[in-house]
């Protein structure tokens, strides 16, 4: 592991230092929800049922699966998710 590096903030310091999460939509109505399976065993059972529950609420779901949980998702997959989905759920790590 690298040691941490300290730098001085070049900004007017009007905003928090830590990278912030994106703002959330008020509701998921009309949104496309991506479900990204990290490919650990049993995760698919979880996500299949999760998808059923979301669809039952009238929400639109797209399924994705990364080849292995041991590495970040391939860039093409990340790009695809970002163009097709409004929000994303990644599951299930244990």
Partner 1 sequence: MSTLRHQGVAEGGWWQHRRRGSATLRGVSLTDLPDGFVAVVKRDCPTCTLVAPLLVDLTDVLGRGPDSFTVVSQDDPSFPDHLASIVDDSDLDLSYRLGIETVPTLLRIEQGVETARIVGWSRDQWRELTGLDDLGEGMPDHRPGCGSLTLDPTRADELAVRFRGSSLRSRRVELAALEDEMEALFDRGWTDGLPVVPPTPVRVLRMLEGTDRAPDDIVTIVPPDLVECSVEKIAVNAVMAGCRPEYLPVVLAAVEAACTDEFNMHGLLATTYFSGPVVMVNGPITTAIGMNSGVNALGQGNRANATIGRALQLTIRNVGGGRPGGIDRATLGNPGKYTFCFAEDEAGSPWVPMSVERGFAVDQSTVTLFAGEGPRGIVDQLSRDPESLSRSLAAGLRSVAHPKLALAFDAVLVVSPEHARVFREAGWDRARLRQELDEILTLDGDEIARGAGGITEGMPESLRGVTVPKFRDGGLLIIHAGGGAGLFSSVIGGWMSGRGGSQPTTWPIS
Partner 2 sequence: MHDIADLEGRGVPGVFLASTEFIDAAQAQADAIGFQPARVFVPHPIQDRTDDEMRQLADDAVAEVIAALTSAG
Q: Are 89 and 53 in contact (CB under 8 A)?
A: no
* Residue 7, contacted partner among partner 2, partner 1, none, CB below 5-8 A by kind: partner 1
* CA 55/CA 85 separation, integer angstroms: 15
Alpha-carbon torsion, ordered 64, 69, 72, 77, to 10 deg: -20
Greatest C-alpha distance within the chain = 50
Positive or negative torsion for Cα 38, 39, 44, 46:
negative
For residue 61, the partner it binds in partner 2, partner 1, none, with Cβ less than 5 to 8 A by kind, is none
Residue 3 interface partner, choices partner 1, partner 2, none, CB cut-off 5-8 Å depending on type = partner 1
By the rule CB under 8 A, 27 interacts with partner 2: yes
Q: Residues 6-25 vs partner 1: string with x where CB under 8 A?
A: xxxxxxxxx--x-x------
Question: Given the rule CB under 8 A, which residues bind partner 2?
Answer: 1, 18-19, 21-28, 33-34, 36, 38, 40-42, 45-47, 49-50, 53-54, 66, 72-73, 78-79, 81-82, 85-94
């Amino acid at each position: 592991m690298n040691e941490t590096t300290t730098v001085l903030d070049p900004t007017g310091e009007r905003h928090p230092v830590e990278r912030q999460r994106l703002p959330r939509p008020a509701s998921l109505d009309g949104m496309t929800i991506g479900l990204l399976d990290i490919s650990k065993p049993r995760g698919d059972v979880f996500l299949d049922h999760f998808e059923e529950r979301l669809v039952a609420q009238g929400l639109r779901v797209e399924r994705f699966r990364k080849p292995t949980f041991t590495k970040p998702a391939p860039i093409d997959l990340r790009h695809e998710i970002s163009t097709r989905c409004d929000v994303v759920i990644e599951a299930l790590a244990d």
